[in-house]
């Protein structure tokens, strides 16, 4: 993961990864900037979703060993969940 930010280079955002493993989103809270890409990677043996409570985004089912990516375009705080497992919660914060 690229940790350095060029400050003004909005053209190529940073890519962040959220690992879904053992029924958890890791990290559970992730802060990114507009234009950054967030990739959810499912390392469990069964499908999960990353679904914004406000429907800002919805991965639909992410198969085992598959991933889904989303480019954050609007600032805000986006709680999300897995629609298949209601206890799985996370928050994406876009600055
Ligand atoms: Cu799930």
Distance CA 93, CA 61 (A): 22
Instruction: Report how far ligand 1's centroid is from the alpha carbon of 48 (Å).
Output: 4
Residue 30 DSSP SS3: strand
pLDDT on residue 22? 97
CB-count burial class (<10 Å; 0-12, 13-18, 19+) for 33: middle
Q: What is the pLDDT of residues 70-86, one digit of tens each?
A: 999 999 999 999 999 99
Instruction: Report how far ligand 1's centroid is from the alpha carbon of 66 (Å).
Output: 13
Domain boundaries, the chain: 15-94
Q: What is the pLDDT of residues 2-54, one digit of tens each?
A: 444 544 445 679 999 999 999 999 999 999 999 999 999 999 999 999 999 99
Instruction: Report how far ligand 1's centroid is from the alpha carbon of 18 (Å).
Output: 13
Instruction: Report how far ligand 1's centroid is from the alpha carbon of 20 (Å).
Output: 8
Instruction: Report how far ligand 1's centroid is from the alpha carbon of 59 (Å).
Output: 11
pLDDT on residue 44? 98
Regarding the domain with residue range 15-94, which homologous superfamily does it belong to in the CATH classification? Cupredoxins -  blue copper proteins (2.60.40.420)
């Amino acid at each position: 993961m690229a940790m350095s930010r060029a400050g003004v280079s909005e053209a190529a955002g940073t890519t962040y990864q959220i690992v879904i493993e053992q029924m958890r989103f890791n990290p559970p809270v992730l802060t990114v900037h507009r234009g950054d890409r967030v990739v959810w990677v499912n390392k469990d043996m069964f499908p999960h979703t990353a679904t914004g409570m406000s429907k800002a985004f919805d991965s639909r089912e992410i198969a085992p060993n598959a991933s889904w990516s989303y480019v954050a375009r609007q600032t805000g705080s986006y709680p999300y969940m897995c629609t298949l497992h209601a206890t799985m919660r996370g928050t994406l914060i876009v600055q």
